[in-house]
A and B are shown apart, each in its own frame.
Chain A
Amino acid sequence: MAAKLTYEDVRDLYQRHGPALLAYARSLLPDRGSAEDVLHQVFLGLLGKAELPAESRPYLFRAIRNGALNLRRSGTRMALLDEQQWLVKPQGMMDAGLEVERALRELPPEQREVVVMRVWGEMTMEEIQPCLMCRPIRRLPAIGMRWASCVRF
């Protein structure tokens, strides 16, 4: 029988994946508070459980998605995504960062999930697809048209 996850194991996972998972939860939920609540719920729920699969990222992203969708179904905190900042901007890139955040907010929800999982979760398209239970994804969504206008390479 596999050893159970200790507090230290969970804390290590949290430090490694917490920021990307928070960004993902933010893409699903209207405010940072509820996103962090779901994040904590998922990680504390791991305490005492058997070890995660070798590749833990897809599992954690799926868990965040389920937690966020459950919270949304409860209907208590449904609102448009807030204007709070999602991303830490490097010096001199504040305006560009704000544009990226605005473009993310304007994406359809499922496409926004793909971008966050791919860019900050560093997941492959093959890993993303089962999380979203969608058709195979060939490339980042609508990048050519929508993003070229707001992102200056």
Chain B
Amino acid sequence: MTLNQDDERLESYLRQFRPHQPRPLPGRTSAMLLHGRGRTRVGAAAAIIVVSSLFLLLRKPVSPTHPSAANMQQKPSIAQAISLAQLSRAAQRDPAILDAELNSLSARLLPDVRSGHGILKSLARE
């Protein structure tokens, strides 16, 4: 297809004006990170970090590391055991039950005078 003479003259006139240069492309590293295989690698690394973080976060509360924490979970606290309401109920039912309750509590609260390694034995030595 041939353009007519006016078109050719116009084209050569317009070509005196050149289009602006675009800003340069990003450098090789940035370009690879933004597109192509580099982007896949960055995505894979990010996925690994996210999965590892999630694993650590979810794992932490499941396994208490301090032994006393496990004991705390198993045994009821002293405060729970000596609740006033509980002792009142025992006294109303039968004084013997109250005695038994108090005996079992005192064994946990007070030093054991019968034990060979008890606190009173140590004090007696001094």
Contact = CB atoms under 8 A, between A and B. Distances in A.
Contacts of A45: 35
Contacts of B7: 139-140, 143
Contact of A143 (B10, B21, B37): B10
A59 interface: no
A126 B13 CA distance: 22
B3 A47 contact: no
10 contacts: A19-B19, A23-B20, A32-B20, A115-B14, A118-B11, A119-B14, A120-B18, A125-B1, A139-B3, A143-B10
B31 A47 contact: yes
B11 A86 contact: no
A39 B22 contact: yes
Nearest to A14: B25
Interface stretch (A50-58, A73-81, A87-95, A105-113): A87-95
Contacts of A22: 19-22
B23 interface: yes
Interface of B: 1, 3-4, 6-7, 9-11, 13-23, 25-26, 28, 31-32, 34-37
B26 A89 contact: no
B17 A147 contact: no
A7 B28 contact: yes
Contact of B14 (A10, A44, A100, A126): A100
A36 B23 contact: yes
Contact of B31 (A21, A32, A44): A44
B25 A87 contact: no
A93 to B, nearest CB: 7
A18 B10 contact: no
B26 A44 contact: yes
A44 B35 contact: yes
